[in-house]
A and B are shown apart, each in its own frame.
Chain A
Amino acid sequence: MFEEYAKKLNLGEVGRYFLFVVLIAIVLLTGIINPRFFNPNNLFNILLQVSVLGVVAMGATVLLISAGLDLSVGSMLSVSAYISGIVIGITGSTYLGILTALAVATAIGAFNGLLVATDRAHPFIITLGMMTLLQGVAIAISRGSPINSMGNLFSLIGIREVGGVIPLPVVIFLAITILVWFFLRKVPWGRYAYAIGGNEEASRLSGVKTKRVKIALYTLNGFLVGVGAVLLSSILDSALPNMGNGYALRAIAAVVIGGTPLFGGRGSVWGTLAGVLLLGLVSNSINMLGISANFQDVVLGTIILFAVMSQKY
């Protein structure tokens, strides 16, 4: 039934530009009603707010292109940030803390990759199990209580601004975006991500070591979650056992809004960047327009549905 309406509305044609139309409409509308929206501080604030989501979404982009998926990134983020907080508390070394977060998340990502590469179950189920397991681990090691200081991490990254204007987490997010773009475009294993997502059996018959590549891609995803964990705990200057909740689904939403199909084979970093910005702008506009935060998810969900349904494969 929807297809008929979609045809009548010619959503297929509109779909390609829908994202940009919505983005511009939101920007203009919000800017007219509340001129403070255009204040550079607010714009950088939006970027800061989406930087963690953006980094996690870049990992999700790589996985979705390869027809993979990791639902455990949120709880992976919580666990690695929390353990890093513990390390900082004990040793007092911020750098050791950063390394810990990166190492823990990378290791979990690699483990997910190993499980997925066995082909015993769909990544959805495997990482759903991992998500629950890691949530439990975060609660168990924290006993439910937050770590209220991340030492120097806050001043080192969280509130630092490059050139006095651009928040450092935003710079890191954009740098990661460019690195992942480069990986997908120029590194053989990035190419293999597209090949495996497009046709895994043909890739194997062409001599691609598909299992090994999959493990590598999940490992890379883990590393990016580690970066996200460092960013979020530095911005909040704390570590909470549930701080990553909701990141997995929002990251996947951003990727899919950006035009990467769930069944893989295609997709781009720039689409994901647009998807992430859309999510950030919508949240910010809702605040700026004084709409009750209670409606935020209603608006967000509606826009996600529209963006996805009007995409043309």
Chain B
Amino acid sequence: MIDKEKPFLRVHNISKTFPGVQALDDVSLSVYPGEIHGLIGENGAGKSTLVKILSGALDPTEGEVVLGDHSFSSLNPTQAQANGVSTVYQEQELIPGLNIAENIYLGEEPRKYNMLVNHEKMIRDANNLIRDYGLERDAGEVLADLPIAERQQVAIIKAAHRGSRILLLDEPTASLTASQIDSLFDLIRELSNQGMGVVYISHNLEEVLDIAGKITVLRDGQKVGTFEKKKVTKPDLVEHMAGHEVQTRGSNKKHEHGKILLEVEDALGSVSFTLREKEILGIAGTMGSGARKILRGISGIDPLAEGSLKFRGEEYIPENVQDSVSRGIFFIPEDMRGEGLVLPMPLAKNITLPKISETLSRGFIDLKKEKSFAEDHVESLGIATPDVDTAVRYLSGGNQRKVLFAKALHADADLLLLEDPTQGVDVNARQEIHELFEELRKQGKSLIVLSSDLDELLDVSDRIISLYHGELSGEFDPAEIDRQVLISSILGEKTEYV
């Protein structure tokens, strides 16, 4: 029935341009029925953009997607699903309050008398189905009671049951334990035997080498190549991901650093590092490395579970954010719309929010004073806005990012903690933000930059530490290493380069 000789999914010369960014450049690939196809690349290489195009969430700028006998110049999510493409992002497309059977049969429940849901039949069928795929559960169990790993398996089984021919898995093991990964792989192999094509996206090379038959590497939106698993090694792949060129970095300049500003000891059990005045420290790490937890602990957002902190030589345990703001520590989150900005509020009021006390005259907010503060920051940071009374929701992404920095400046912070500071901004804004780092350093401020963009870290940092699974896996001088070293280090290769 299934023609294994003919690829089910073909991507022809797909390109995708965002304002200022070429996210995908002329990428082609084919996936045959039953094939498990690994897709790897660094952050920003274009993996997620490709997945979004295949699942119908984004339209390509050029090129076409062929599914079976139908070719599409753009897809919407309904078309993608109707033509056999299923995407499993963790377990998001499931409803936690319903049981396994109800989730699998949602919208096509077996009927009794053409009207009522035939629960007995639904549970019976679902039980047979999930047992076939090796999930040892009762289909009557409520999804919310299952561990994440098994919810994900339910989502995959649902996709298979709905007749999907291509399964897109984007970082499916990010929150799984080793044994959970094993059972996920068993399930994927079972589906592959039945003729399902799988596109497996991950930054974990060992996993990809374990499960995939072919591996496509993307770099900077371009396809480096598609490799047979048998003919490629891990170091090869690392090299393909990073590229051959050893880039010369601008940061050969040595900066004079001041006194020790921050000391972190045994955070997450074993992570210790220090930061000096006027220093920019980069932290590299993938999801789950623990870097986020440490930054959020220092800034008082979440309690630091383990370890101790010294700021300007003084022991301190931040009780809340106010505590760290008043000491001169300011955290800038990656998710600026969710955690950084009050979108309906005017620019000026967002900027002064962390330290409204600065704007007071005789105990009350002095709106003129506030406005002139805000205008100063808008000017010095080059924020493009009609005026400071404009709600920040109307600003562009890059300008919204800059508002976060204006908040830090207004709060008069000496230590800025940054989480993916250029996420979602165009190249120009990125450049401007990087220049801003130097400006901040000149003003005597210290920065810790956590970024999933290794080029960014290599460009801006004086020193980089890398974390892997809650432990320090390396410390580097960015002038002396290239991207390849850093990639190996965030993937846990502890001994080779340290």
Interface residues of A (CB under 8 A from B): 185-188, 191, 194-195, 198-199, 201-209, 265-266
Contacts and interface: CB of A to CB of B under 8 A. Distances in A.
Contact of B342 (A187, A194, A209): A194
Nearest to A186: B364
A195 B331 CA distance: 18
Given A187-B364, A188-B365, A191-B365, A204 B321 contact: yes
B105 to A, nearest CB: 30
Interface in B190-233: none
What are the 5 closest A-B residue pairs judged by CB atoms, nearest first? A198-B342, A207-B325, A186-B364, A265-B344, A207-B322
Bin chain B's interface residue count.
20 to 34
Nearest to B321: A207
A31 to B, nearest CB: 39
Interface string B298-327: 010100000000000000000011101110
Given A198-B342, A202-B339, A205-B331, A186 B321 contact: no
Interface in B442-492: none
Given A199-B343, A202-B341, A202-B342, 12 more contacts: A185-B365, A185-B367, A186-B367, A188-B360, A201-B339, A205-B321, A205-B333, A206-B353, A207-B320, A207-B355, A208-B322, A265-B344
A209 B324 CA distance: 12
A188 B358 CA distance: 11
B342 A265 contact: yes
Contacts of A198: 342-345
Contact of B356 (A185, A191, A199, A204): A191
B338 A194 contact: no
B37 interface: no
B450 to A, nearest CB: 15
B322 A209 contact: yes
A187 B321 contact: no
A195 B345 contact: yes
B321 A199 contact: no
Contacts of B340: 202, 205
B357 interface: yes
Contact of B353 (A187, A195, A266): A195
Contacts of A185: 365, 367
A204 B321 CA distance: 7
B349 A199 contact: no
A188 B356 CA distance: 7
12 contacts: A187-B365, A194-B344, A199-B338, A199-B343, A205-B321, A205-B333, A205-B339, A206-B321, A206-B325, A207-B321, A207-B322, A266-B344
B411 interface: yes
Interface of B: 299, 301, 320-322, 324-326, 331, 333, 338-345, 349, 353-357, 360, 364-365, 367, 407, 411
B345 A265 contact: yes
Nearest to B336: A202
Contacts of B349: 191, 194-195
A186 B355 CA distance: 14
Nearest to B341: A202
Given A195-B342, A195-B345, A188 B301 contact: no
Given A198-B345, A265-B345, A188 B339 contact: no
A8 B14 CA distance: 41
A188 to B, nearest CB: 5
A186 B361 CA distance: 10
Contacts of A266: 344
Chain A facing B: main interface SS: helix
Nearest to B323: A207
A217 B83 CA distance: 54
A187 B407 CA distance: 19
B412 to A, nearest CB: 12
A208 B349 CA distance: 13
Nearest to B364: A186
Contacts of A187: 364-365
Contacts of A208: 322, 353
A201 B349 CA distance: 16
Contacts of B324: 207
B401 to A, nearest CB: 14
B126 to A, nearest CB: 34
Contacts of B320: 207, 209
Nearest to B345: A198
Contacts of A191: 349, 353, 356, 365
A111 B401 CA distance: 39
A266 B344 CA distance: 7
Contacts of B342: 194-195, 198-199, 202-203, 265
B341 A199 contact: yes
A17 B4 CA distance: 65
B130 to A, nearest CB: 35
Given A198-B344, A265-B342, A206 B354 contact: yes
B345 A205 contact: no
A23 to B, nearest CB: 26
B365 A206 contact: no
Nearest to A182: B364
Nearest to A190: B365
A250 B356 CA distance: 34
Contacts of B338: 199, 201-202
A265 B326 CA distance: 25
Contact of B345 (A194, A201, A209): A194
B113 to A, nearest CB: 31
A154 to B, nearest CB: 37
B319 to A, nearest CB: 10
A209 B353 CA distance: 11
A194 B301 CA distance: 21
A78 B340 CA distance: 42
Nearest to A200: B342
A170 B411 CA distance: 43
Nearest to A261: B344
Residue of B341, B342, B343, B345 with most chain A CB atoms under a 10 A cut-off: B342
A92 B355 CA distance: 49
A260 to B, nearest CB: 12
Contacts of B299: 205
Nearest to A209: B322
Nearest to A208: B353
A207 B354 contact: yes
A266 B354 CA distance: 19
Contacts of B301: 204-205
A191 B407 CA distance: 16
Contacts of A202: 338-342
Nearest to A199: B342
A203 B322 contact: no
Nearest to A195: B342
